[in-house]
Structure 1
Amino acid sequence: MFFHFKEYIKHLTNSCNKHGVHSPFVYDFITKCLYKKASKEDVSFFEKYRFNLKTSSKVVCIEEYGAGSRVFKSNIRKVSQIVEVAGIKRKYGLLLMRMMSYFEVKTCLEIGTSLGLATLCLQAKEPKMLLTTLEGCKNTLEVAKEQFDRFGLKNIKVVLGDFKVTLPKAVKNNNYDVVYFDGNHTKTATLGYFKECLKAKHNNSIFIFDDIHWSQGMCEAWDEIKKHPEVTVTIDIFQWGIVFFRKEQRKEHFTIRL
């Protein structure tokens, strides 16, 4: 936890707001999407879904494939506790909703479904979007699928299995407008997913990496991603690293304070 706090202080020191950005593309994204206030309807939709999970009495056994939890000591966990500790926070959930609408996303890949809270945010504003979501834990995925049915989420392809097997199949012969990385938060796995997903990107694709400052390894992974020759623009908002591949943009890296 001390490492994470230290990284946050560093982020505050090095970050700027919209006034420190001179790229028109990035400036528009910050002012018209990143800093835009969420609508009451979006907040209400998000909170209804989250409340349904927070009040659940279900208990599930977690199959861990990634770095594990800093909070939970057992793999037997209450759904209500999982969403409280590990579920996407409202600020970022609402931002996902705005981003999908702002960029008019038609195809999306999510690596790490969990309870489906971020999945909801990815598709809520673009219901016709074709969304593929990958999850390694059968028990949490069952909860997510129940929620998708309850809230009428359609056009979601749910894939269960180890990402080493399911991810190559998901990217084969596919292009995605957005890839949301929220699976195994280790350096090796993150870089592996990134390189695999490069096969499915196009010029306007957006990669969103969760927890880029979670550990020293994740910080190193983020630094390597920024240096990749196909990456042109990156935006570090501390919780996420947002990556663009637009060839018409010169290579720039931004650290933005939310």
Structure 2
Amino acid sequence: MLLYALNYLYFYLKAGNQHAVHSPFVYKLYTLVVQDKKKYYAFSELEKLRQELISDHTELEVTDFGAGSKHTISQKITTNSTKKSISKIARYSATTTKKAQLLFRLVEYFKPKTILELGTSLGVSTLFMALAADNLETQIITFEGCPQIAKKAKENFEELKQNNIEIIIGNIDKTLSKSLPSFPLLDFVFLDANHRYEPTIDYFNQILEKCHNDTIIILDDIHWSAGMEKAWKQIIEHEKVTVSIDLFQLGLIFLRKEQPKQHFKLRF
């Protein structure tokens, strides 16, 4: 945790704000979306759900698929038991409020028709994106490795009456490659599953086949570990990537051919 804090301090000293952005596309995105402080209509409802989950001490049988998976990234979950409470998962593994609200704003801004999420957890981030879309024509496909956690996520989707979410359950290393060929082109992708170098690169390379010029790809926890930083650096150097925005907690990737290749570190 100390190394992570030092990494953040170094990032903060190097990162800029809107005055450091000379790309009209990125400037507009940063000022209107990333820095937007408005409390949107859905936020109170979604935070009420988050608090309900944090207060729920029901234990679930958790299936982990290797170190660094979404459900083991917090050092605060130290038990070796395969059981974890919904409360702990909501506190330490679900997407934070700050990041989830940015996902909401990004979806509202770009208005994607097809959203792919790797790493459903309890469905908090999924619901932020679903309510931002607020459109049954928007298809959301989300992958979760653990059956018990996926079951709870489905219950949350039903509670908020979100019927345009499809959840695919099982080891993402296997289910993604099987499912991806049948998907339409992807407009919006959120990678928040196995937080290790090799799986992250593998997921990125697979989903690229279904991306187009205007697809936005978001990676979670890009500075969480040396492996994730290595993956982020490799991804932004990819020949198809033209613009990247490093917000420390999240990384945004764009494939817009009309943009010159630029990489930004911006405060969030």
Structure 1 length normalisation: TM-score?
Answer: 0.97
Please state if 1:255 is matched with 2:255. no
Structure 1: which amino acid aligns with 2:92? V
Give the C-alpha shift of residue 169 in structure 1: 2.9
Question: What residue in structure 2 maps to residue 115 of structure 1?
Answer: 122
Question: What residue in structure 1 maps to residue 228 of structure 2?
Answer: 218
CA distance in 2, matches of 1:40, 1:156: 21
CA distance in 2, matches of 1:42, 1:31: 21
Aligned partner of 1:230 among 225, 240, 247: 240
Aligned partner of 1:194 among 180, 204, 210: 204
Deviations 1:187-214 (A, max 9, x none): 0010000000111100000110000000
Question: What residue in structure 1 maps to residue 43 of structure 2?
Answer: 43
Give the C-alpha shift of residue 40 in structure 1: 4.8
Please state if 1:71 is matched with 2:76. yes
Give the C-alpha shift of residue 34 in structure 1: 0.8
Contact 1:136 1:161 in 2 (8 A): yes
Q: Which region of structure 1 is more displaced relative to structure 2, 237-246 or 62-71?
A: 62-71
Contact 1:177 1:204 in 2 (8 A): yes
Secondary structure in structure 1 of the residue aligned to 2:76: coil
Give the C-alpha shift of residue 55 in structure 1: 2.0
Question: What residue in structure 1 maps to residue 169 of structure 2?
Answer: 160
CA distance in 1, matches of 2:215, 2:232: 17
* 1:55-204 mapped onto 2 (5 Å cutoff): 55-66=55-66, 67=68, 68-69=72-73, 70-74=75-79, 75-127=82-134, 128=136, 129-173=138-182, 174-204=184-214
CA distance in 2, matches of 1:219, 1:116: 26
Q: Provide the alpha-carbon RMSD of the alignment.
A: 1.2
Q: Which region of structure 1 is more displaced relative to structure 2, 246-255 or 145-154?
A: 145-154
Contact 1:38 1:94 in 2 (8 A): no
Deviations 1:40-66 (A, max 9, x none): 523212212212211223111211114
CA distance in 2, matches of 1:123, 1:163: 21
Question: What residue in structure 2 maps to residue 14 of structure 1?
Answer: 14
Structure 2 length normalisation: TM-score?
Answer: 0.93
Give the C-alpha shift of residue 171 in structure 1: 2.3
Contact 2:143 2:168 in 1 (8 A): yes
CA distance in 2, matches of 1:233, 1:40: 28
Contact 1:46 1:93 in 2 (8 A): no
CA distance in 1, matches of 2:22, 2:252: 17
Identity %: 36
Structure 2: which amino acid aligns with 1:196? Q
Give the C-alpha shift of residue 38 in structure 1: 2.7
Q: Which region of structure 1 is more displaced relative to structure 2, 37-46 or 88-97?
A: 37-46
CA distance in 2, matches of 1:120, 1:43: 10
Contact 2:173 2:199 in 1 (8 A): no
User: 4+ residue stretches of structure 1 with deviation over 6 A?
Assistant: none
CA distance in 2, matches of 1:51, 1:170: 33
Query: How many residues get paired?
Result: 258
Secondary structure in structure 1 of the residue aligned to 2:132: coil
Task: Give unpaired runs (5+ residues) of structure 2.
Answer: none
